[in-house]
Amino acid sequence: MSDARDGLTPAGPLEVGGVHLATPVMAASGTFGFGTEVPLCDRRALGGMVCKGIFLEPRAGAPPPRIVETPSGMLNAIGLQGPGVETVIREYAPLWATWPFPVLVNLNGETVEEYAELAARLDGVAGVSGLEVNISCPNVERGGMLFGQDPDLAAAVTAAVRVRTRLPVWVKLTPAAGDISAVARACEEAGADALCAVNTFVGMALDVRTGQPRLGFRTGGLSGPAIRPLAVYLAHRVAQAVRIPVIGIGGITRPEDALEFLLAGCRAVQVGTATFVDPNAIGRVVEGLRRRSTPDGAPPGHRLRPA
Amino acid sequence: MSDARDGLTPAGPLEVGGVHLATPVMAASGTFGFGTEVPLCDRRALGGMVCKGIFLEPRAGAPPPRIVETPSGMLNAIGLQGPGVETVIREYAPLWATWPFPVLVNLNGETVEEYAELAARLDGVAGVSGLEVNISCPNVERGGMLFGQDPDLAAAVTAAVRVRTRLPVWVKLTPAAGDISAVARACEEAGADALCAVNTFVGMALDVRTGQPRLGFRTGGLSGPAIRPLAVYLAHRVAQAVRIPVIGIGGITRPEDALEFLLAGCRAVQVGTATFVDPNAIGRVVEGLRRRSTPDGAPPGHRLRPA
Amino acid sequence: MHDLQAPLVGRRRVARDAFVLGFRAGPIAREVRAGQFVNVLLRPGPLLRRPFSVHRTEGEIVELVLRAVGEGTGRLLELREGDRVGLLGPLGRGFALDPSAGRVTLVSGGLGVAPMPMAARQARAMGLHVCWVHGARTAADLCSEWEGDEICWATEDGSRGVRGTALEAVPEPAGQVLACGPLPMLAALARRWPEAQVAVETVMGCGTGVCLGCAVPLTSGVYTRACTEGPVYRAGAVAWERLPAPAHAGWET
Amino acid sequence: MHDLQAPLVGRRRVARDAFVLGFRAGPIAREVRAGQFVNVLLRPGPLLRRPFSVHRTEGEIVELVLRAVGEGTGRLLELREGDRVGLLGPLGRGFALDPSAGRVTLVSGGLGVAPMPMAARQARAMGLHVCWVHGARTAADLCSEWEGDEICWATEDGSRGVRGTALEAVPEPAGQVLACGPLPMLAALARRWPEAQVAVETVMGCGTGVCLGCAVPLTSGVYTRACTEGPVYRAGAVAWERLPAPAHAGWET
Ligand SMILES: Cc1cc2nc3c(=O)[nH]c(=O)nc-3n(C[C@H](O)[C@H](O)[C@H](O)COP(=O)(O)OP(=O)(O)OC[C@H]3O[C@@H](n4cnc5c(N)ncnc54)[C@H](O)[C@@H]3O)c2cc1C
Ligand SMILES: Cc1cc2nc3c(=O)[nH]c(=O)nc-3n(C[C@H](O)[C@H](O)[C@H](O)COP(=O)(O)OP(=O)(O)OC[C@H]3O[C@@H](n4cnc5c(N)ncnc54)[C@H](O)[C@@H]3O)c2cc1C
Ligand SMILES: Cc1cc2nc3c(=O)[nH]c(=O)nc-3n(C[C@H](O)[C@H](O)[C@H](O)COP(=O)(O)O)c2cc1C
Ligand SMILES: Cc1cc2nc3c(=O)[nH]c(=O)nc-3n(C[C@H](O)[C@H](O)[C@H](O)COP(=O)(O)O)c2cc1C
Ligand code: FES
Ligand code: FES
């Protein structure tokens, strides 16, 4: 597996952290459902997708309102509504097995053991190409982001998942970590195959006419173009801290946004909120990367000079 | 001194952390120079101002480019260019002494002792109404934000400043702290009279045509509307963690943005980037707060119900 | 589902501050059913799309009705003829008309008129008798256009028709009831006609079923997606007390 | 300094892709001096204002010249007559003309024409002889308008006037030199005429002197503010090797 910083990724197929991607641009968890919902997306452009986060058991999710728009961004507090792992195995995985791009399952738990159990259940399931361990969800009462703020807890979750599956294990990091490099290194040492940086930033918005939070869960996670400069910085720090590949996430809308993450040291990227605005956002990002590629397949920028 | 969460602040004069403000809306450090530069600002609306951050000695600042616009925000890496404390005492303080609103000096150091020395030099200087201890600047090689990420270091700076001055001591916090509540409590215990939340968020932007950072300092601090939901959340957490007043900062542009921070538990606010866009942004925020005040002088919202 | 760049081709005022905007979008106009919506992208404009019920279609033209309540609706009403917006749709599940009902009553409060002209036309095309009951605050707020066989007005101040809400003006027997309007009106309607079909509004992230942002709580305990399982629900199925009105973005909106 | 809402009142093309926009803004038109700029606010539009040299004034009208290079300039060129922008100005220090110089040479590369018509008029009003040397890539990129007593053209491809840069086309003796254009041209000019006055471009945050974002490094080692101490500098005072061109915002810009 080549180092993220060894060269730039072309728009073509590549292998990242044990997963064979059709292009370097993937659909981010929670913004592409289970892959059956967005008919207008150009699926040939899709490098791969991460399904909506799941727990062992079905979950109702957070009370509405669940979304608030903010300047160039949105807060969400979905609360990981979704079917449990059994439905995923029974209803979605068989479909995914027929698709031309890999699907990773986004794993969530309230305890280390729940993550491990999920990993075990998904091991060997046809249609599941990898696991994205979500230790960064800001919208649950227990677990989620708490695991991602502490290097020891992050390592514990990663290690527990690692020993229960032969699937590639990616770990999705939270910007709320005091030292994201330390968490990244801890996950790498615990056996992660790749790191995803980053999940949403915790935020809050109040209704000035009632004085109450505008989200049912009170706080939510900020995504969209507003966070891009913060996410590029964090993804860059993570890429500098580890040798495993990094997948950049946060506010990617245009082809050049994706390239910014690649230049910052990421090996692939995920697109989230942009898909809400343009169901074919990923198609357009990949098309832009392709059009701008130099003849040898590498994008036109240079690698980021180390500081 | 009344608790920030005891009631809402009207648009009129009030006392916050030992400083008598003309209104609850102040000019944020680094966005209003030394108070002599922005002729179009309605000075009757100005609750007070914090001058550009200074060190003991004059500083050249960071290499250009120093500013990059991002979606609904901007990254800056000014690097605390400015005159040293002597110039401030000799040239600006005498002017400030004649102004109808209080001026606080934003203090910066590379060591605890430098902060303490600055505090001592400014103690008793006519025209200086308080000190804002900046342990949150992301754009300097040493000091700055590093002090604000660790509760012990934050407390050390606060305590050192506290013993060297009789002036009100406000401490300005960084969102980069892993646990901002812990830093806030440490500053409160070390003798801070008020806390300012928050300074800018570290970010980065790359030029996709060269692959290099768009800022001369490589990274910068994100400000503007993009960060507002993040800042409201952090200011709210700080207000819940301490008994001293909190001054909310981050992305305030409209009157309702200011009210959002007040509803979140802040006693006053500071306006930064908005002044770049509209030199009279503060005048308009105060005007809006006034127009919307209910007859008893309190804004129309209710206080945020505890979680 | 289509994603089109659609030019504004017409605009008319139909009530105080309320306007019908017509966009040329043939593929959507041909497919859309009453109660479905389109998700509108404005550039420059707010980040997310804004959902609007399809009000009427006229050949290739898709009509929306709206009032300025915030940035998106404000910008929509500033558009000039020829300006283009992105239209994604048709989205959601519309009204299911029962041809055997004989009579259908459309109940609309305020801008809840939005899906009714299409519903009236589809019902009449099926041979149903259409009674439209429309309420608003005052006569000036009533929509000046209507379709169907009968119209009943209601105003809070009694300045036109019955004094009271649309609900109070519904002539019995109502037959099949379709409704759209403010949440309190729909909740009251659900108590009277649990079998009524109601179109609800929620904040939406995507409009296509992927974000789970548009949650509508059902009495069965689950959340469903307004953009996919809705926006039309059986009135009695919705847990109205757990469905909040969208919070306010600011003072000005 | 004034902060006005100024309507667009005219627009004309003066070179390939380059347009002059006229805004009605009497108070600014009356005060502005050659080399000063205005800071333009667009709503909807990017967060920050965009600085532009004042190109000419005509009575109450302030003219700017620009080409679309990004979001702000793109939106400016989409404006229709009557649309308003925020104009803050006049800002900065303009050219200081020396009435005793006898002769003044204006050197402009590409859109560096911006401050020259005003400079030409002010110089002639002082009785100076004005020679304007204007260079661009090709004849189509040259600005079609000029003022002064003499004009010399230069194009990189030789399609009009001297083949080469504006700098190479300057007739000697140049007298007092005022210049505006790409950084490499200004740096070269500084070596030949250290006493020349040059108008430089930097990224700006505020335009009013408070943000320190517009730093221009001087050979003396300090940074100065382009918006306040500049944008006009003595060419020999600027540390050109430490003054970067503004970085690119993306591929499309
Ligand atoms: C399926 C559906 C159909 C709709 N049909 C119509 C219609 O035909 N005509 C019409 O005028 N409006 C309709 N709405 C509501 C319309 O989408 C909102 O008024 C609009 O999104 C507000 O955008 P804004 O930018 O102007 O306001 P914002 O500044 O975003 O918000 C202003 C106010 O509107 C509320 N709001 C924001 N988004 C929504 C939303 N999705 N639904 C309800 N309220 C919202 C906010 O909470 C706030 O109080 C519909 C909504 C849905 C979900
Ligand atoms: C004092 C001054 C006077 C100017 N006069 C003129 C003029 O008369 N005519 C004209 O066309 N342009 C002029 N400029 C440059 C003009 O301000 C920029 O081209 C404009 O801000 C770009 O905005 P945008 O949103 O279109 O581009 P963006 O999307 O912001 O950026 C597009 C490109 O322009 C660069 N850029 C951004 N801001 C500036 C800036 N302040 N200065 C230079 N480059 C920038 C970016 O780095 C990028 O490469 C002047 C700049 C200054 C500082
Ligand atoms: C509505 C919504 C739901 C999300 N759900 C999940 C999730 O279930 N699991 C997860 O790891 N991330 C989730 N995310 C985070 C995204 O995958 C992504 O990290 C984030 O939105 C930043 O990328 P963006 O700015 O491109 O949206 C969600 C984001 C949004 C907006
Ligand atoms: C150009 C610029 C310079 C700044 N300089 C300082 C400074 O010297 N000291 C400081 O404490 N904060 C400084 N700040 C941070 C602001 O005071 C404020 O905390 C931040 O910009 C967030 O508020 P805003 O979104 O309203 O701008 C600076 C911000 C900007 C944009
Ligand atoms: S709006 Fe996204 S799922 Fe309904
Ligand atoms: S642009 Fe802000 S100081 Fe010059």
The per-residue pLDDT for range D88-116, each reduced to its tens digit, is 999 999 999 999 999 999 999 999 999 99
Q: What is this structure's pTM?
A: 0.96
Q: pLDDT tens digits for D222-231?
A: 999 999 999 9
Whether C252 sits inside 8 A of B256 (CB atoms) is yes
d(CA A296, CA A87): 44
Q: Which DSSP helix (H) or strand (E) runs through C65?
A: strand C61-67
What confidence score (pLDDT) does residue C39 get? 98
Query: Which of B251, C201, C208, C66 has its CA nearest to residue A73?
Result: B251
- The answer, for B3 touching chain D at a CB cutoff of 8 Å, is no
Ligand 2 centroid – CA D50 distance (Å): 7
Q: pLDDT tens digits for B36-70?
A: 987 788 999 999 999 999 999 999 999 999 999 99
What confidence score (pLDDT) does residue D252 get? 57
Domain with B96 in it: what CATH number? 3.20.20.70
d(CA D208, CA D49): 11
Instruction: Quote the number of domains for chain C.
Output: 1
What confidence score (pLDDT) does residue A290 get? 86
Task: List the end-to-end C-alpha distance of chain C, in Å, as a whole number.
Answer: 31
- Closest CB to A301 among B209, B300, B307: B209
What confidence score (pLDDT) does residue A296 get? 52
> Residue A279: inside a domain, yes or no?
yes
Q: Which DSSP helix (H) or strand (E) runs through C7?
A: strand C2-15
Provide CB contacts within 8 A for B138, sequence distance 6+: B77, B144, B145, B174, B176, B199, B200, B201, B202, B219, B220, B221
> Residue D188: inside a domain, yes or no?
no
Q: pLDDT tens digits for C53-106?
A: 999 999 999 999 999 999 999 999 999 999 999 999 999 999 999 999 999 999
| Angle at CA of residue B52, ends B48 and B53, nearest 5° | 120
Q: Which residues of A touch B208 (CB under 8 A)?
A: 256, 259-260, 263, 299-301
Angle between helices A112-122 and A151-163 (to 10 degrees): 30
C214 lines ligand 5 (CB under 6 A): yes
Q: Which residues of A touch C205 (CB under 8 A)?
A: 67, 74, 76, 276
Ligand number nearest to the C-alpha of A199: 3
Q: Which DSSP helix (H) or strand (E) runs through D77?
A: helix D71-78
Touching partners of A (3+ C-beta pairs < 8 Å):
B, C, D
- Closest CB to A37 among C46, C203, C208: C208
The whole domain housing B181 covers 3-64+75-202+223-291
> Residue D171: inside a domain, yes or no?
no
pLDDT band at A295 (very low <50, low <70, confident <90, very high): low
B307 exposed, middle or buried (CB, 10 Å; 0-12, 13-18, 19+)? Answer: exposed
DSSP at C35: T
Q: pLDDT tens digits for C129-185?
A: 999 999 999 999 999 999 999 999 999 999 999 999 999 999 999 999 999 999 999
Domain with C39 in it: what CATH number? 2.40.30.10
> Residue A280: inside a domain, yes or no?
yes
> Residue B305: inside a domain, yes or no?
no
For D203, nearest residue in chain B (alpha carbons): B67
d(CA A106, CA A172): 9
ipTM over 0.90: yes
> Residue B280: inside a domain, yes or no?
yes
Per-residue pLDDT, averaged over A164-175, amounts to 98
Whether D203 sits inside 8 A of B64 (CB atoms) is yes
> Residue D57: inside a domain, yes or no?
yes
D69 lines ligand 2 (CB under 6 A): yes
What confidence score (pLDDT) does residue D106 get? 98
Over pLDDT 70: what percentage of chain A? 92
Of residues A39 and A187, the one with the higher pLDDT is A187
pLDDT band at A137 (very low <50, low <70, confident <90, very high): confident
Task: For chain D, positions 8-47, list CB contacts with chain B under 8 A.
Answer: 41, 46-47
pLDDT at A292 over 80: no
Residues of A belonging to the active site: 137
Q: pLDDT tens digits for B247-303?
A: 999 999 999 999 999 999 999 999 999 999 999 999 999 999 888 765 555 555 544
d(CA C57, CA C77): 19
Task: Count the residues in chain C.
Answer: 253
Going by alpha carbons, the residue nearest to atom 38 of ligand 2 is D203
> Residue A283: inside a domain, yes or no?
yes
Interface test with A, best of B152, B183, B227 (most A CBs within 10 A): B227
> Residue D177: inside a domain, yes or no?
no
**Residue C204: helix, strand or coil by DSSP?**
coil
What confidence score (pLDDT) does residue A7 get? 43
d(CA D231, CA D224): 10
Ligand 3 centroid – CA A53 distance (Å): 9
pLDDT at B9 over 90: no
Per-residue pLDDT, averaged over A18-38, amounts to 95
Of residues A297 and B227, the one with the higher pLDDT is B227
| Angle at CA of residue B247, ends B181 and B266, nearest 5° | 80
d(CA A95, CA A33): 14
> Residue B232: inside a domain, yes or no?
yes
Per-residue pLDDT, averaged over D8-25, amounts to 97
Q: D27 phi and psi, to 5 degrees?
A: -60, -35
C216 CA: distance to closest CA in chain B (Å): 23
Q: pLDDT tens digits for B188-224?
A: 999 999 999 999 999 999 998 888 999 999 999 999 9
DSSP at A90: I
Per-residue pLDDT, averaged over A171-190, amounts to 97
pLDDT at A226 over 90: yes
Whether D252 sits inside 8 A of A254 (CB atoms) is yes
Whether B31 sits inside 8 A of D3 (CB atoms) is no
pLDDT at A4 over 70: no
Ligand 3 centroid – CA A169 distance (Å): 18
> Residue A127: inside a domain, yes or no?
yes
pLDDT, averaged across chain A? 91
Per-residue pLDDT, averaged over A128-154, amounts to 91
Instruction: Quote the number of domains for chain B.
Output: 1
Q: pLDDT tens digits for B154-168?
A: 999 999 999 999 999
Of B137, B187, B196, B266, the active-site residue reads: B137
- The string of DSSP codes covering B36-100 is SS-TTS-TTT--EEEPPPB-SS-B--PPSP-EEEETTEEEE-----B--HHHIIIIIHHHHTTSS
What confidence score (pLDDT) does residue B295 get? 53
The whole domain housing C7 covers 2-91
Q: pLDDT tens digits for A250-273?
A: 999 999 999 999 999 999 999 999
What is the DSSP pairing of strand C129-136 with strand C56-58? unpaired
- The answer, for A264 touching chain B at a CB cutoff of 8 Å, is yes
pLDDT band at D253 (very low <50, low <70, confident <90, very high): very low
C133 CA: distance to closest CA in chain A (Å): 30
pLDDT, averaged across chain C? 95
What confidence score (pLDDT) does residue A291 get? 80
d(CA B10, CA B23): 8
What confidence score (pLDDT) does residue B7 get? 43
What confidence score (pLDDT) does residue D247 get? 73
Over pLDDT 70: what percentage of chain B? 92
Per-residue pLDDT, averaged over D183-197, amounts to 96
Q: pLDDT tens digits for B98-127?
A: 999 999 999 999 999 999 999 999 999 999
pLDDT band at D144 (very low <50, low <70, confident <90, very high): very high
Whether D45 sits inside 8 A of C45 (CB atoms) is no
How many Cα atoms occupy the beta-carbon half-sphere of B150 within 13 Å? 8
pLDDT at B30 over 70: yes
Query: Which of A152, A159, A174, A78 has its CA nearest to residue A119?
Result: A159
Per-residue pLDDT, averaged over A75-102, amounts to 96
For D71, nearest residue in chain C (alpha carbons): C44
Q: From start to end of C119-160, where are the E strands? A: 129-136, 150-155
